[in-house]
Homo-oligomer: A and B are copies of this chain.
Amino acid sequence: MNASIITIGDELLIGQTIDTNSAWLGQQLNQIGVWVNRRVAVGDEKSEIEEALSAELKRNKIVIITGGLGPTADDITKPLLCNYFGGHLINNEAVEKHVRAFFEKRNRPMLDVNILQAQVPNVAQILWNRYGTAPGMLFTKNDALIFSLPGVPLEMKDIMLTSGLEKIKNTFDLPKIIHKTINTAGKGESFVAAMLQNTIATMPTEIKLAYLPNLGQVKLRLTGINVPEHLMIEWQNKIASQLGHLVFATEDISLQQAITNLLISKHKTIACAESCTGGLLGNTFTDISGSSNFFLGSAVCYNNQAKHTILGINYTIIETNTAVSEQVAIAMANGALQLYKSDIAIATTGYLESTTDGKEPQVWIAITDGVNTKTIYQPLPYARVKNKELVLSFTLRLLFSFLTDVNNN
């Protein structure tokens, strides 16, 4: 069963908004056995939207349209769809009540345009939007389901999770798609592929393998359509054992989630001392629910004075070795360990951009538990923000290997 996604909005084509909805929809649909095989983005143009809809309906029995339902005049989708499917707009009392309550609850004045959200096509089923005022709509035509959903990610996701996916499952007889993930860090795509060359050559053709590289990590995704679960697991294990210590997870979780799981299971707490990462490490740990169980805090010290006052680093160490040095990284990690009384501390110090006095972007990272200390040095080849993300990636790899190293346990 295949699906198409149509996204509507000049802001997507002009690039002022990045489309994150489609990726989420792709993931969710895949999990219920629907394969998104086309995605089309069109602007706020009536003819373009109609043409895209007709073309996708010829291909697929599921079409999901996002965007174009806002209250302002540049949103033309609702009347267009109403007309396309041969209906007319009627006032929906339940939606009107919801819209009025929405503004009352937020203590915000309601405008005439807002109440227009209660006008819905008489040929559409309403999909309830808890978090916004534009209702989702479901049209049917020749056995096909056509969804029209708001473009706001929170609203779109909630509508799909509470009713949209269910409608699809109840309408179609879906195949069983199984994904298995092998998550690796430390080597590039071609290196990983070469390690697996011989193994992969004997893999059944109904199982597909894809490499998804991202900043020093490569996610391997096995996909089987109507392949028995045990065969998928067998191949997942085969590949994972081939890749050995490069593997940090055999489920689709991030490296930070794998580290969180380790820290919680080992009852270890962690603190950071951040110079060049500027808070990114702390921010990353605290994105994860339950982080207060292991994350104590982070001392972001952007200048030498803060490094001295807060982390207790002797100015002599900085002057002798410069602020970006192995010695300062170690001193920062030890400083954070003492300041936060954590079991483990990790520190970053580096240049994210070339300095005026000619130093190239580079980083020193140190980790310590008070007994064992590890450091790494890395040159940074990218621009500022990307270099910061790369430092995060190096830091997480260092932390993961520290936590899984038997010598530190």
Contact = CB atoms under 8 A, between A and B. Distances in A.
A128 to B, nearest CB: 17
A42 B19 CA distance: 15
Nearest to A181: B16
Interface stretch (A79-87, A183-191, A231-239): A183-191
Contact of A291 (B13, B213, B278): B278
Interface in A169-203: 188-191, 193-194
Interface stretch (A119-127, A139-147, A384-392): A384-392
A113 B384 CA distance: 31
A208 to B, nearest CB: 8
Contact of A289 (B38, B291, B353): B353
B297 A190 contact: no
A72 B193 contact: yes
A309 interface: yes
A212 B291 CA distance: 33
A310 B16 CA distance: 41
Contacts of A189: 70-72
A214 to B, nearest CB: 8
Interface stretch (A22-30, A313-321, A365-373, A395-403): A22-30
A68 to B, nearest CB: 12
A14 B2 CA distance: 12
Contacts of A30: 14-15
A193 to B, nearest CB: 5
A268 interface: no
A75 B260 CA distance: 34
A230 interface: no
B300 A299 contact: yes
Nearest to A307: B297
A211 B17 CA distance: 11
Contact of A18 (B23, B209, B295, B310): B23
Contacts of A73: 193
A40 B39 contact: yes
A94 interface: no
A191 B298 contact: no
Contacts of A39: 12-13, 39-41
Contacts of A286: 276-280, 302, 388
Contacts of A27: 14-16
A13 B36 contact: yes
Given A71-B190, A302-B295, A37 B23 contact: no
A65 interface: no
A48 B353 CA distance: 42
9 contacts: A11-B212, A15-B26, A19-B23, A72-B193, A72-B211, A74-B208, A154-B386, A280-B286, A282-B300
